[in-house]
Chain A
Amino acid sequence: MASLSLDGLSRRFGNVTALSDVTLRVDDGEFCVLLGPSGCGKSTLLQIVAGLDRQDKGSVLLDGKVVDELPPRERDVAMVFQSYALYPHMTVSQNLGFGLRMRGIAEEQIQHKVQETARLLGIEHLLARKPRQLSGGQRQRVAMGRALVRRPRLFLLDEPLSNLDAQLRINVRLELKRLHTQINTTILYVTHDQVEAMTLGDKVVVMREGRVRQIGTPEMIYDQPADTFVATFVGSPMMNLFEGKVIREGKYLRFRCNDFSVDVRNLPKDLVGKTVEIGARPEDIEFGRNGKSNLRARVEMLSNAGAEKYVHARLGENTITVKASKDATYNAGEMTSLFIDPDKLHVFYEGKRI
């Protein structure tokens, strides 16, 4: 187990900037998730930490020691690949033991550790098989096992669940979380799936175009997104964003766009007259009751998510998504009153959170 620090990492491929000045710290035993759309540099980051790729600038530190000059095998990290990358010509048992064998550990001990790991993952009955005789889920477990068996200082997981079907993904996700509490190791996990990031991570790092946009707990990322990218990338259905101007109305400030206006609080006075964006999550908008309403919209359609429904409505040129109860009934074309709670508004000026 170890802590990991990345200090100003940059990496370019020709004209493409894959990473730009990434600084990050993962504490000992922490589950850190790198979240971002494909092509945001998160996989490159993982490769650099593993020693499979070399950064142009910056340093990787394991337990406070710079490891930039060390080849992968001397870094004592393990990696689970998106394709699993199991050795097709070896049995499961040989796959699991390969890393130990390469490190010259006694055969007896290897067998013991392989058995122990197989038991932990419930793959004991598969030890004699070749990877091609395994299902997707089983391969995924073997890939996890191959990383686990060595008890490395740091685990790197590159989208390990993306090749599993939906149901299996949820199960393995829970299992992974349990495994982490059980063995309490440091994990750096890459995904583009925000649900994975939110459920697994102690810490979530949101990246875009090679830059870190926000680092924080899942709660912080969700409740206080640092910018409009994080705000819309995390959360499903995504946050409603509206562009408009801040105006002064007596003592108070209000946000006004073409279709509605709403009170905004705790804004610096110098934003008056400026164009800003406000964001409201679907669950932070209520259906107007007892005259408590600040905008009216025309229902366009209803989408059913099972445990709840979402109403998609039109407000002039904007659409707005509002969470409704499971048994809500709305007809397309119907007008409805909505209430955006000013206390739950997110305000962004030039893309950044105010």
Chain B
Amino acid sequence: MKKGSLENGALVVGVLMAIVFSLVPFLLFVSSAFKTQTEVTAIPPQLWPSFDVDFFRSAIVRYDILGYLVNSIVVAGATTAVTILLGTLAGYALARLPRPWAHFSLMLILACAMFPQIAIVGPVWRLLRWLGWLNTYQGLVLPYVALTLPLTVWILALFFRELPEELEAAALVDGCSRIEALVKVIVPLSAPGLFTAAILTFIYAWNEFFLALLIVTDPARQTMPVGIALFQGEHTVPWGEIAAASLITTAPLVVMVLLFQQRIVTGLSAGAIKG
């Protein structure tokens, strides 16, 4: 205890610093969201808000933040559903392919995930224009699936590989087809891996800004990040409304991650230890 207390102290300080660094901006906008117009611009800055909900009202009524929210839910939800479906099939195949092939394919998939966005945005935009999918939900879902699939396949392939093959053999002998064995035995046992992949995908699609800004110019189809960035006041930047909208955007993710915390941790550490 005595000998380790210095080290422990250092660790505690490190953790506290990490928390403060990441949380201070977040807390600032949480506080701003609940301020009144005068409090937001007060100098010196006032930290403790008066818990006014005017900015929320204005964000919803004047800036139609709920419309953006619906768009975000549709796009992120659809992206997650399609990515998990394709990722499950591909991950399963790669988990059961002979090792050298699977390894090669996984490396190739990982390489695809390494392209910087700026390198692909041009071709993607032209492709979508050719498809007539600019300013549509599917126009966002398609590139999001392409970008989130590599990591999902990677996570799921590693997860499925940990499951004993005898389980599938048992399911096949018990009367399942390959797909039934996957759906009835492998998928239920892979819940932590699927949750992890799903949440990472959802967060990506929910937060993505760059592609969303370029592909969707019609405000009726824009997602939250783009909507918030394009908030415009006549003469001022509407800091309060931006803070309120940001809080509305972030809250669902925070709640989700807190709820599934345990499962995500299990999923991320799968393969590290057996059993």
Contact = CB atoms under 8 A, between A and B. Distances in A.
Interface string A62-98: 0000000001110001110111011111000000001
A78 B169 CA distance: 11
A79 B169 contact: yes
B175 A102 contact: yes
Contacts of A18: none
Given A71-B177, A73-B177, A102-B180, A83 B164 contact: yes
Interface in B142-187: 164, 166-167, 169-177, 180, 185
Interface in A45-75: 47, 50-52, 71-73
B9 interface: no
A98 B175 CA distance: 9
Interface in B201-240: none
B175 A103 contact: yes
A211 interface: no
A73 B173 contact: yes
B160 to A, nearest CB: 15
Contact of B173 (A50, A82, A86): A50
A52 B175 contact: no
Given A71-B177, A102-B175, A102-B180, A85 B170 contact: yes
A216 interface: no
B189 A52 contact: no
B4 interface: no
B174 A99 contact: yes
A24 B64 CA distance: 77
Interface string A98-112: 110011000000000
Contacts of B132: none
Interface residues of A, number: 24
Contacts of A85: 164, 166-167, 169-170
A52 B174 contact: no
A176 B180 CA distance: 31
Nearest to A152: B173
A73 B170 contact: no
Contacts of B170: 79, 81, 85-87, 146
Contacts of A150: 174
B175 A99 contact: yes
Contacts of A51: 172-173
B169 to A, nearest CB: 5
Contacts of B173: 50-52, 72-73, 77-79, 99
Nearest to A52: B169
Contact of B172 (A71, A88, A103): A71
B166 to A, nearest CB: 4
A73 to B, nearest CB: 4
B176 A87 contact: no
B60 to A, nearest CB: 43
Contacts of B171: 87, 98
Contacts of A72: 169, 172-173
B189 A89 contact: yes
Given A50-B173, A73-B175, A81 B166 contact: yes
Given A79-B173, A83-B164, A102-B180, 6 more contacts: A50-B173, A52-B172, A81-B169, A83-B166, A99-B173, A146-B174
Q: Which 8 pairs from chain A and chain B are nearest by CB?
A: A102-B175, A99-B174, A85-B166, A85-B170, A73-B175, A72-B172, A81-B166, A79-B173
